[in-house]
Amino acid sequence: MTATMLQGLVADLGRLELREVPVPEPGPGELVARVDLAMTCGTDLKTFRRGHPKFPLPTPLGHEFTGTVARVGAGVGRFREGDPILAVPSAPCGECPSCLRGLENLCDRIHAGNLAWGAFAEFIRIPAHVVRRNVFPRPPDLDLTHAALLEPLSCVVHGIEVLDLARRDTVLVLGAGPIGLLYVALLKRRGVPRVVVLGKRATRLAAARALGADEVLDLDASSDPLASIRALAPEGVCAAVECVGRTEAWQLAEASLRKGGEVLFYGGCPGGSSISLDTRRVHYDALTLKGAFHFTPSDVRIALDLIRRRALPLDRVVSGEYPLARLGEAFETLQGGECLKLAIRPKATDGASA
C-alpha cells in the first residue's frame, strides 16, 4: 500500500484544497524531505489569486521550506535519512545559453517540472540538480524560521548584488512587505547611511523601523507620495528599490530618483503591464534602470552564510504560524494584507497560532 500525505494546492483561482496524495518517491540523485516548516510567499498569493503562467491549475503551492531528509535516491552521497536540511527550490542547469553566459539566475530550463515545488505538504521531492547545487545541511541549533527563509533571502541578495551601492547615501525602498523588509535589513548591513521606506500598514512600518529603516513614509497618511519623498530628499534619492509589483510604484520609483540615480525594479506586475518614461529625463539625468530576478548559486551561498551566522533579525518578516490543516485560513489572512509572511507547519504543535 502506498503511503499518503496531505498536500495544499490551488484547485481553481481563489480556491485552496488539501488533498490526500501519495508520498513522493525519490528518483536517482533525488531526495524526499519531510517538511519541518514552510513559508508563504508573494508568488503563492499571486498564483492563488490570478494564476501563474508557469504553474497551470491545479497546482501545489509553497517553495520556501526547511526539512529533514526522509528518503534518499540512488547515488546521493552527501545526505542520509534523518539529516536536517535547508534548500532553495531551483538550481541552474549549467548548460543552456543563459547559464553559459553566466546568467544562472535566468537559466532557460527552470520550469515547473524541475523545481522542489509544493512545500505546503508533509513531504517534498527535491530534483537531482537541486540536490547537487542548492541543498545544505541545517545546523542543529538553527531556528526553523530562519532556515525556511533561504529562498527569499537569496532573491534579495541577488538584487543587492545587482545594485551599485557605491556613493548611494539615500536609498528608497518602495513597499514594506517581507521582500521590502529584507531589502531594508540588507541595505543597512551593507552600510547604506540612510534607508527610507515607503509603505502601508502600521505593523509593517513598525517592522521596517525594527529592521533598521532610518525613515518611514506612511502611504496611508500621504495623498502625494512623491511630495513626501521630496520633503526628505529634495534632489531625489540616489537609488530606489521597487518591491510592490504595481505600475504606480514602478513609476514612482523612477520619479523619485535624483540625477545619476538608479532604480531596481524588483516587484513583478501583472502580465501585460507597462509604464511610460520621460526619455529626456532618462537621457539628460543619466538614470540607470535595472531589473532583477531570482538568484544564482553564489547568491544562495551568501544568503546561507547570513542565515548561519544569524546576521539578520529574520523573524521580523514572519507574523504568524498555522498548521497545514489550516492552510485556507492562512491564505485568508494573507489576502487581508495586514500580515507579513506566515509559517506553515505540517506537523501541528500545541503552540500553533496565528
Task: Give the nearer residue to Zn ion in terms of CB position, either 65 or 322.
Answer: 65
Quick one: which of 33, 76, 91, 99 contacts Zn ion (CB under 5 A)? Answer: 99
Task: Tell me the per-residue interface mask from 22 to 61 with Zn ion, x by CB under 5 A, - otherwise.
Answer: -------------------x--------------------
Q: Provide the minimum distance between the beta carbon of 217 and Zn ion in the complex, in angstroms, as a whole number.
A: 26
107 scored as a contact of Zn ion (CB under 5 A): yes
80 in Cβ contact with 72 (< 8 Å): yes
Strand pairing class (4-12; 59-60): antiparallel
245 scored as a contact of Zn ion (CB under 5 A): no
Strand pairing class (237-242; 59-60): unpaired
CA proximity to 65, closest of 42, 32, 87, 98: 87
Residues 6+ apart with CB under 8 A from 130: 87, 88, 89, 90, 91, 114, 115, 116
CA proximity to 47, closest of 19, 13, 17: 13
Task: Give the nearer residue to Zn ion in terms of CB position, either 24 or 42.
Answer: 42
Task: Give the nearer residue to Zn ion in terms of CB position, either 64 or 321.
Answer: 64
End-to-end CA distance of the chain: 36
Using the contact rule CB under 5 A, the part of the chain among 17-25, 96-104, 136-144, 188-196 near Zn ion is: 96-104
343 scored as a contact of Zn ion (CB under 5 A): no
287 scored as a contact of Zn ion (CB under 5 A): no
124 scored as a contact of Zn ion (CB under 5 A): no
Task: Give the nearer residue to Zn ion in terms of CB position, either 43 or 228.
Answer: 43
Using the contact rule CB under 5 A, the part of the chain among 71-79, 105-113, 290-298, 334-342 near Zn ion is: 105-113
96 scored as a contact of Zn ion (CB under 5 A): yes
Q: How far is CA 317 from CA 44, 60, 144, 321, in A?
A: 16, 23, 14, 12
Q: Would you give the DSSP letter of residue 138?
A: P
Q: Provide the minimum distance between the beta carbon of 107 and Zn ion in the complex, in angstroms, as a whole number.
A: 3
Q: How many residues bind Zn ion (CB under 5 A)?
A: 8
92 scored as a contact of Zn ion (CB under 5 A): yes
- The torsion of the CA quartet 302, 315, 318, 295, rounded to 10 degrees, works out to 0
Give the interface with Zn ion as residue ranges (CB under 5 A). Answer: 41, 64, 92-93, 96, 99, 107, 109
